[in-house]
């Protein structure tokens, strides 16, 4: 091999190496952009949650004064009704702050408020503090946010009268489980295999399709799994992470 051929090969190798480096830099940049966007959203959610908690604390005295006044007047039925309303409001915030991850707590509180504005009953059940879950908080927020948003959109497009959206967070001896369920329209069976494919959507099912490819990518990168169950009564997305991985 002559010097000319050697330099040509060397240049080709350098071009390949530089191209690879550029591709990696672009991927890293996109990941940083997504991370920063999610972190910004998480910060805003935390601020809103903090404001909500401060407002709740400020209202405690007012509520106690009203209850005491009703008790003094012996308006026990009215007092009972008032207490139930106050309890329901406090329960909404309390159920959203049970994990050890502030970003997740803030996300659930923010989505609860959003669902309430859209006349959707938002049910939260938390039975795990998620202390040993090995996934970045911002990535888990992205997963849950997309699934919850899809559920909200599906219910907005549905004709069901009592719209309900639920988030269940629990664990078993070997797994962490996240369930996001809604009682909107059933996802057609023919669409279920493609629903996590990037770019896939149908006009009717657009709500469920948006963002699910992102969810799948994040779960694949963190050894998580997702499954779908859908019938005429409910649609449930279940995310699982194996413990100790």
Query: Do residues 99 and 129 touch, judged by C-beta distance below 8 A?
Result: yes
> CA 238, CA 104: separation in Å to the nearest integer?
17
3-state secondary structure 173-235: CCEEEEEEEECCCCCCHHHCCCCCCCCCCCCCCHHHHCCHHHHHHHHHHCCEEEEEEECCCCE
Look at residue 162 in the predicted model and tell me its pLDDT. 93
How high is the pLDDT of residue 165? 95
- CA 143, CA 81: separation in Å to the nearest integer? 38
| Ordered domains of the chain (ranges, CATH) | 3-242 (3.30.565.10)
Q: What average pLDDT score do residues 4-33 get? A: 71
What is the token pair recorded at 26?
Answer: 């672009």
d(CA 170, CA 94): 16
Average pLDDT over residues 203-215: 63
Q: Is the pLDDT of residue 205 over 70?
A: no
Q: Up-side HSE of residue 13: CA atoms within 13 Å toward CB?
A: 6
The predicted structure's pLDDT at residue 149:
92
Which whole-number Å values give the CA distances from 158 to 141, 184, 238, in the listed order? 25, 6, 21
Average pLDDT over residues 106-116: 87
**pLDDT category of residue 208 using cuts at 50, 70 and 90:** very low
Mean per-residue pLDDT for 183-189? 90
Contact (CB, 8 A) for 152 and 183: no
- Say yes or no to pLDDT of 152 above 60: yes
Name the residue among 11, 102, 24, 93 with its Cα closest to residue 57.
93
Q: How far is CA 133 from the centre of its chain?
A: 15
Q: DSSP E strands: which ranges in the chain?
A: 121-126, 164-171, 175-182, 224-230, 235-242
């Amino acid at each position: 091999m002559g010097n000319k051929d050697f330099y040509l090969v060397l240049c080709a190798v350098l071009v390949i190496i530089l191209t690879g480096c550029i591709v990696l830099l672009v991927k890293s940049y996109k990941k940083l952009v997504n991370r920063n966007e999610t972190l910004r959203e998480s910060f805003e959610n935390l601020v809103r949650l903090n404001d909500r908690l401060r407002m709740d604390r400020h209202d405690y005295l007012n509520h106690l004064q009203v209850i005491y006044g009703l008790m003094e007047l012996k308006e026990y039925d009215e007092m009972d009704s008032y207490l139930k309303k106050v309890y329901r409001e406090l329960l909404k915030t309390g159920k959203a702050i049970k994990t050890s991850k502030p970003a997740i707590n803030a996300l659930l509180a923010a989505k609860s408020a959003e669902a309430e504005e859209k006349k959707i009953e938002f049910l939260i059940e938390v039975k795990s503090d998620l202390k040993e879950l090995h996934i970045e908080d911002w990535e888990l927020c992205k997963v849950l946010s997309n699934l919850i948003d899809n559920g909200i959109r599906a219910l907005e497009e549905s004709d069901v009268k009592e719209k309900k959206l639920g988030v269940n967070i629990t664990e078993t001896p070997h797994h962490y489980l996240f369930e996001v369920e809604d009682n909107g329209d059933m996802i057609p069976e023919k669409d279920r295999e493609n629903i996590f494919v990037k770019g896939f959507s149908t006009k009717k099912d657009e709500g469920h399709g948006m963002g699910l490819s992102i969810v799948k990518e994040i779960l694949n990168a963190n050894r998580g799994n997702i499954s779908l169950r859908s019938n005429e009564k409910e649609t449930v997305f279940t995310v699982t992470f194996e413990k100790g991985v």
